[in-house]
DNA sequence: AATTGGTTCTGAACCGTTACGGTCACTTCA
DNA sequence: TGAAGTGACCGTAACGGTTCAGAACCAATT
């Protein structure tokens, strides 16, 4: 066999064409447009490719030429692995993955460590579009994404006016939950929320910080609460609101402890997520507080674990949110951009909310 | 302002260089090698870039030139979204994501619908390497990955001799579990396993099919069982083994029903995954069988839900598996390839296994 | 005055492919 | 018989960067 053994460089489409004595176009067509050349030649091309160890057209070179990467990027601005620990994030991912596989598109998880301000990963991502999921509105990664000349859809973010958006009415949903509690008779409540900004502030939250929160979702949920309770005659500035940077059960526990220590008289603990609420339940149990008899606890999200626990919460369609984001991004119909999609939520009244212990029911019917 | 408004095409590095009257090299250096040009010029470049709306070097073009994509591909050969529904897969993903973010690398989820034989997604993926997680050994997507000239690590797959591998000793682990059951006195058992090949076969499995199973993991777990029970004098070919294509609780329920209908006398139900075992628990409850008094049930994986249920199972370090796979892939030290990593497992004896009801303990100590 | 060294910038080659607009030989049909 | 059509293949020009070996310049040293 005269097969040259000095082939250090792997075969390319050009070298294959040279070997065959045909043009590069023809080799390209053998892979991409079988109808553009005779079956015999095509077979000959493919056989020679195998013989030379040519693995087929290089995906990156193809992407450069066709201006298509065949993938969408997902920006989470959390340690990437966080996405796999939070049930709501997992649901979102599943929905997004669903939309991607329908379109035959890849899904690139972009590493965006919130600690370092390293935006290079966003610049390096070879994608046809971005989905940005619940990052602070002042996040440099978000800014970097918006500078990229590709379609983007933001999720659980404020409407930017320039890119598609998917979300829910966080404020309205929380307002509804608050009204439920108010109608039960709760006036003296405590609140536990997730991180409000990029800086860690594990403790009480001033009204200013609530207002200036960089996480759209948290800001709106708090604002819904504030509005409802203010309308009910409660001085919102006196309500203890505790923030936790890390989002896990332990945070819910310690935050609940902090609120209950600050005001043992509260009758309800409103949590901005189910995870935090589940933690609060544990702290309540530790203190011997019976839920809902001694203390009402509510969550937000409607994750499975919450359902099992019978938690009073707001269910939001996390999977649908992911799917909607994917569909919006992959829908080539550019006309109507930017679009804004609001998904509906549902108030789930579980076994963790009831009238406060001392409350007389009649009080709400009297003059 | 003389700013030309007929800029249809977005700015490129070349157009920016032309506008500035410098070479392309200089513009490139402004982004990639700040020390290679004077600070003033660099600022001028960056300012002009902003003015022209130049978003920085195109990632795809850069990848083509540098031969680095900054991402690794993950092949699952399951509907992509499945990865987010199976706790073990989620754990693996988390570990892999951990390794990726440590390296600042993206993680591309490659869509590989098992239904269609469409391998194009593998060809299109612009990645520096692949992780292949638990696909059948005859999967065309796997073959396509192996043809790509990039490093690959397979997980829960047979050792291919040519690429890195991460896994556990499935056979040994299951052998150990079987010995536990044998020592308790179980001889008449039933088995529930996950899909053994790409074709759907929801029902009993012949010994041939067990042997020829295309899923390495399942094949080895069954083989570990067969070996242990054969050694204990049990005719393995008479043991009912039921297969389910879909991996979820409902499959576990229906499979358990099928086994129990076939042989109501079995004293233990060995499931090849915790998910299936949890389903079997539900079916047992439905039939009024008390676990472990009337029926022993075991799982495999050691997911959190199993722990909560007190399931007897084999715990495997799913997160570590993902992390190891990522580390192997991202470790540039090419020398020692291919490498093979076996992680250790742990037999968890929970509350779902006990001696069979009729068994007299003494029997195992007599002559 | 010649050499050395350092900084700043350039020219040209190269990465591997596909899009576009042909050419050319060979039917087909009036 | 000539015009029009068809199938098979090709040449060229991008696509948007990075890289490396120098060139040009200036200051400091021999």
Whether B363 has a pLDDT exceeding 60, the answer reads: no
Quick one: B19 exposed, middle or buried, by C-beta within 10 A (0-12, 13-18, 19+)?
middle
Spatial distance between the Cα atoms of A97 and A95, rounded to a whole number of angstroms = 5
Strand D and B14 CB separated by under 7 Å: yes
Range in A183-197, B58-72, B104-118 with the lowest mean pLDDT: B104-118
For the stretch A284-316, pLDDT in tens is 999 999 999 999 999 999 999 999 999 999 999
Strand D and A206 CB separated by under 7 Å: no
* pLDDT value at residue B357: 87
Task: Tell me whether residues B106 and A100 touch, CB distance under 8 A.
Answer: no
% of residues, chain B, pLDDT over 70: 94
Whether A21 has a pLDDT exceeding 80, the answer reads: yes
Indicate the class that CATH gives domain A170-317+347-364.
alpha beta
- Among the partner-chain residues B60, B85, B113, the one whose CB lies closest to the CB of A69 is B60
Neighbours of B233 (CB within 10 A): 8
The answer to whether the B1-56 and B170-316+347-364 domains have the same CATH topology is: no
What is the mean predicted confidence (pLDDT) over B295-319?
Answer: 97
For the stretch B255-286, pLDDT in tens is 999 999 999 999 999 999 999 999 999 999 99
Q: Of the CATH numbers 1.10.10.10, 1.10.260.40, 1.20.910.10, 2.60.130.10, which one belongs to the domain with range B1-56?
A: 1.10.260.40
Whether A9 has a pLDDT exceeding 80, the answer reads: no
Six-digit token string for B90: 């989620």
Cis amide prior to B292 (ω within 30 degrees): yes
Q: pLDDT band for A2, please (50, 70, 90 cuts).
A: very low
A117 interface with B at CB cutoff 8 Å: no
For the stretch A104-141, pLDDT in tens is 999 999 998 777 778 999 999 999 999 999 899 999 99
For the stretch A37-73, pLDDT in tens is 999 999 999 999 999 999 999 999 999 999 999 999 9
* pLDDT value at residue B9: 65
For the stretch A238-283, pLDDT in tens is 999 999 999 999 999 999 999 999 999 999 999 999 999 999 999 9
A290 interface with B at CB cutoff 8 Å: no
* pLDDT value at residue B334: 66
Strand D and B61 CB separated by under 7 Å: yes
- Among the partner-chain residues B53, B91, B104, the one whose CB lies closest to the CB of A111 is B104
% of residues, chain A, pLDDT over 70: 94
Strand D and A37 CB separated by under 7 Å: yes
Q: pLDDT band for B294, please (50, 70, 90 cuts).
A: very high
Range in A102-111, A221-230, B110-119, B206-215 with the lowest mean pLDDT: B110-119
Query: Domain A71-167+319-341 belongs to what architecture?
Result: 3-Layer(aba) Sandwich (3.40)
Cis amide prior to A198 (ω within 30 degrees): no
Whether B335 has a pLDDT exceeding 80, the answer reads: no
For the stretch B129-165, pLDDT in tens is 999 999 999 999 999 999 999 999 999 999 988 899 9
* pLDDT value at residue B338: 85
Indicate the class that CATH gives domain A1-52.
mainly alpha
B36 CA to D25 C1' in angstroms comes to: 16
The domain defined by B170-316+347-364 folds into: Rossmann fold (3.40.50)
Quick one: B32 exposed, middle or buried, by C-beta within 10 A (0-12, 13-18, 19+)?
exposed
Cβ-Cβ contacts under 8 Å, A61 against chain B: 64
DSSP class of residue A312? B
* pLDDT value at residue A359: 61
Which of A174, A189, A355 is CA-nearest to residue A272?
A174
Spatial distance between the Cα atoms of A158 and A162, rounded to a whole number of angstroms = 11
Mean pLDDT value across chain A: 92
DSSP class of residue B290? P
Q: pLDDT band for A363, please (50, 70, 90 cuts).
A: very low
Q: Do residues A299 and A255 touch, judged by C-beta distance below 8 A?
A: no
What is the mean predicted confidence (pLDDT) over B16-40?
Answer: 93
B39 CA to D27 C1' in angstroms comes to: 20
Residue entry with tokens 């011997």: A288
Q: Do residues A163 and A173 touch, judged by C-beta distance below 8 A?
A: no
Mean pLDDT: which of A23-27, A336-340, B237-241 is highest?
B237-241
Whether A91 has a pLDDT exceeding 70, the answer reads: yes
A363 CA to C5 C1' in angstroms comes to: 91
Whether B115 has a pLDDT exceeding 80, the answer reads: no
Whether A7 has a pLDDT exceeding 80, the answer reads: no
Residues with CB under 7 A from strand C: A 9-10, 12-14, 24-25, 28, 31-32, 56-58, 61-62, 64-66; B 21-26, 29, 35-38, 41, 61, 64-65, 67
Q: pLDDT band for B79, please (50, 70, 90 cuts).
A: confident
* pLDDT value at residue A5: 38
B100 interface with A at CB cutoff 8 Å: yes
B344 interface with A at CB cutoff 8 Å: no
Closest Cα in chain A, distance from residue B135 (Å): 17
A38 CA to C25 C1' in angstroms comes to: 15
Closest Cα in chain B, distance from residue A55 (Å): 6
B91 interface with A at CB cutoff 8 Å: yes
Task: Tell me whether residues A111 and B100 touch, CB distance under 8 A.
Answer: yes
Task: Tell me whether residues B97 and A118 touch, CB distance under 8 A.
Answer: no
- Measure Cα distances from A362 to A182, A183, A355, A358, A367 in Å: 14, 12, 12, 12, 10
Task: Enumerate residues 5 to 64 of chain A having a beta carbon within 8 A of any beta carbon in chain B.
Answer: 10, 55-64
B119 interface with A at CB cutoff 8 Å: no
Mean pLDDT value across chain B: 92
A29 CA to C28 C1' in angstroms comes to: 27
Query: Domain B71-168+319-339 belongs to what architecture?
Result: 3-Layer(aba) Sandwich (3.40)
For the stretch A321-345, pLDDT in tens is 999 999 999 987 666 778 999 999 9
Closest Cα in chain A, distance from residue B162 (Å): 16
Spatial distance between the Cα atoms of A192 and B59, rounded to a whole number of angstroms = 41
Six-digit token string for B50: 């902003």
Q: Where are the domains of chain A?
A: 1-52, 71-167+319-341, 170-317+347-364
Strand D and B58 CB separated by under 7 Å: yes
% of residues, chain A, pLDDT over 90: 83
Whether A147 has a pLDDT exceeding 80, the answer reads: yes
Pick the more confident residue, A81 or A233.
A233
Spatial distance between the Cα atoms of B223 and B217, rounded to a whole number of angstroms = 10
Whether B359 has a pLDDT exceeding 70, the answer reads: no
A207 interface with B at CB cutoff 8 Å: no
């Amino acid at each position: 066999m005269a097969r040259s053994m000095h082939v250090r460089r792997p075969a390319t489409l050009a070298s294959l064409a040279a070997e065959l004595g045909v043009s590069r176009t023809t080799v390209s067509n053998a892979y991409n447009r079988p109808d553009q050349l005779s079956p015999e030649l095509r077979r000959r091309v493919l056989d020679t490719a195998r013989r030379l160890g040519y693995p087929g057209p290089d995906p990156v070179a193809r992407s450069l030429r066709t201006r298509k990467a065949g993938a969408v990027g997902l920006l989470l601005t959390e340690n990437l692995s966080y996405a796999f620990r939070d049930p709501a994030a997992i649901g979102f991912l599943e929905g997004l993955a669903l939309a991607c596989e329908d379109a035959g598109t890849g899904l690139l998880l972009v590493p965006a460590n919130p600690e370092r301000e390293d935006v290079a990963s966003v610049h390096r991502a070879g994608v046809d579009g971005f989905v940005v999921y619940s990052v602070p509105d002042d996040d440099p990664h978000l800014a970097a994404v918006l500078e990229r000349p590709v379609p983007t859809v933001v999720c659980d973010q404020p409407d930017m006016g320039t890119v598609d958006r998917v979300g829910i009415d966080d404020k309205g949903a929380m307002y509804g939950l608050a009204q439920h509690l108010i109608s039960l008779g709760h006036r003296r409540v405590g609140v536990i929320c997730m991180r409000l900004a990029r800086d860690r502030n594990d403790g009480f939250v001033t009204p200013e910080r609530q207002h200036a929160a960089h996480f759209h979702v948290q800001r709106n949920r708090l604002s819904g609460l504030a509005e409802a309770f203010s309308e009910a005659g409660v001085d919102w500035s006196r309500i203890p609101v505790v923030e936790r940077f890390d989002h896990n059960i332990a945070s819910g526990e310690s935050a609940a402890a902090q609120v209950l220590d600050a005001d043992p008289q509260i009758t309800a603990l409103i949590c901005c997520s189910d995870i935090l609420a589940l933690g609060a339940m544990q702290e309540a149990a530790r203190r011997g507080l019976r839920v809902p008899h001694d203390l009402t606890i509510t969550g937000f999200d409607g994750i499975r674990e919450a359902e099992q626990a019978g938690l009073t919460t707001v269910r939001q369609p996390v999977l649908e949110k992911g799917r909607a984001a994917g569909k919006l991004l992959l829908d080539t119909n550019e006309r109507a951009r930017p679009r804004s999609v609001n998904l509906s939520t549902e108030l789930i009244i579980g076994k963790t909310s009831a009238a406060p212990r001392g409350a007389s029911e009649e009080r709400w019917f009297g003059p």
